[in-house]
Chain A
Amino acid sequence: AQSVTQLDSHVSVSEGTPVLLRCNYSSSYSPSLFWYVQHPNKGLQLLLKYTSAATLVKGINGFEAEFKKSETSFHLTKPSAHMSDAAEYFCVVSDRAGAGGYNKLIFGAGTRLAVHP
């Protein structure tokens, strides 16, 4: 079975400093991994996805993530935080086991990012 573990429930950074949100995954085969973001009272938006192409994945708003198979990690980074980055971030793995498995996503518990001036 596939699963993801987000190692921090809350992360606080100052504006202009780097952001690191950590995620470890568990999968019995080559996974498809995603990061989604949820701003307050909004739905979720896809930031980036890894689907076995390049291990360094670039997403929207300056975010990127690196797939490291040896460490079973898929950490999300951004060089310089902006106030508008304050939101909840979810690391997600797709579950393709069983019949179909299409579009069944398994979400981590989420990391709430706070950005201070």
Chain B
Amino acid sequence: KAGVTQTPRYLIKTRGQQVTLSCSPISGHRSVSWYQQTPGQGLQFLFEYFSETQRNKGNFPGRFSGRQFSNSRSEMNVSTLELGDSALYLCASSSGTYYTGELFFGEGSRLTVL
């Protein structure tokens, strides 16, 4: 069974640009969550989608957005990039039907903003 796949793995952008990251969950998983990991702030929850609906949201500005498609694949978008957005963005999936707390993580997309 394939794991969680994130693309691209690495990318470099400049301030003011926007970026879209993609996540394909494990087959059959309907919940996709996104986390930001930085050396200074650690791992922080961005949002979670379940059946194309945002079910939960962290404390990030509106520049951070996401969506989920009918096949459970998810994308997150960051507009008007700032230097502080440089981070590893991790996607995680779970079956999502009932709360378990067990998430399966991808290897992340490492974003560098210059």
- On A, residues with C-beta under 8 Å from B are 32, 34, 41-46, 49, 51, 90, 92, 94, 96, 99-110
Contact = CB atoms under 8 A, between A and B. Distances in A.
Contacts of A42: 107
Given A49-B101, A102-B99, A43 B42 contact: no
B42 A103 contact: no
Given A43-B90, A44-B90, A102-B48, A94 B42 contact: no
Nearest to A34: B101
Nearest to A45: B105
Contacts of A107: 35, 42-44
Contacts of B94: 103
Given A43-B108, A94-B99, A102 B42 contact: no
Given A94-B101, A105-B103, A43 B55 contact: no
Q: Which residue of B48, B103, B108 has the most chain A CB atoms within 10 A of its CB atom? A: B103
Contacts of A51: 101
Given A49-B102, A103-B92, 5 more contacts: A92-B101, A94-B99, A102-B48, A103-B56, A108-B42
Given A43-B4, A90-B43, A109-B42, A103 B108 contact: no
A104 B45 contact: yes
Interface of B: 4, 31, 33, 35, 42-45, 48, 50, 55-56, 58, 90, 92, 94, 96, 99-108
Nearest to B31: A103
Nearest to B44: A107
Contacts of B45: 104-106
A106 B104 CA distance: 15
Contacts of B43: 90, 107, 110
Contacts of B104: 46
